[in-house]
Amino acid sequence: MKTGMRVNNSRSKKKANAKKNKYSDVEIITEEHVRTFEKIHDLDTSPRITPFIFLIASIICIFSTMTILIYMGIVLATITLICFLRKSYWTAHRYRQAVLMYLQDDYDGCRKYLNKIPKQEKETECYKEFLSLVNDKIAPKTDKGEEDSIKEDNLKKSDDISIEEKNNEEITACENPLTDMDVYNEVKEILSENRRDLTKFYMTHTDDYCDLCVSSEVFLRAKLKENNQYVLTNLNGEDIKRLNLNVENAAKEENYNVRVKLNSKGIIRKLTTYIIQEYDNCSVRY
């Protein structure tokens, strides 16, 4: 018995230490921190409180001795249920959870909550601004000097690489499948190198697709399942032949001409002209 108790105690201590280590460098998050963040970024999470007010009122009324108050409690309980089922409650709840995750430096958890927010809400400026903050935190950072040297190296390499080497790169499949952040960072770098404004550039998700947007317009859509990774484009036959791309016809419901197979980040680089053109077209509309 004693041995069993010691094992259990040691396990509970390990769990406690693990929790401690995880948040040891994080300041204790208070309601004031959360409200300040929400105020700065125009996030309204007040609708999540309304159902609880009705719930407390209904409980008080139902447990009273007066018949009229009991009936009133039943009505309030019904209103509570309706409030819990409304989109506005769940949107506010997800925003609040995302804010808490962000303040605890859990950016992956924060993005998961943001991805669950309804499509209509994703068109708002406050959502885009918040998502952009999260994406910038997840994206690997380099200092300005390092970025400049990387750009110079890339330009030199692009001049020196022969057509044969490019073809070999295209044929060789990427050992590790690309993630949404790989695509986001590569496209962001392309836009930066071509001096495009990135203030309204952000990433979101629609069903199984990763969407790169400017303002409210999708200018590049990719599907990044491990066994089938591709970018959807409206490239014509001449462009495909000139760029020597591996493609297949897009599905009818995808509303694009072709799927460009993503074997490596180099394929995204090959689409630089197309990406810039699509980005500019979407920017002009807004």
pLDDT tens, residue by residue, 66-78: 888 888 888 888 9
Per-residue pLDDT tens over the stretch 100-144: 888 888 888 888 888 888 888 888 888 888 888 888 877 654 444
More confident residue, 7 or 218: 218
pLDDT value at residue 29: 76
User: Phi and psi at residue 202, in whole multiples of 5°?
Assistant: -155, 170
Minimum mean pLDDT among 35-39, 150-154, 257-261: which range?
150-154
pLDDT value at residue 285: 64
Please name each of the domains of the chain with its CATH number. Answer: 24-138 (no CATH), 144-285 (3.90.1150)
**pTM given for the model:** 0.50
- Taking CA atoms, 106 is separated from 100, 102, 109, 135, 136, in Å, by 9, 6, 5, 12, 13
Q: Distance (Å, rounded) from C-alpha 239 to C-alpha 233?
A: 11
pLDDT value at residue 147: 53
More confident residue, 239 or 220: 220
pLDDT of 87 above 70: yes
Looking at the DSSP bridge assignments, the partners of residue 131 are: none
pLDDT value at residue 189: 92
More confident residue, 79 or 174: 79
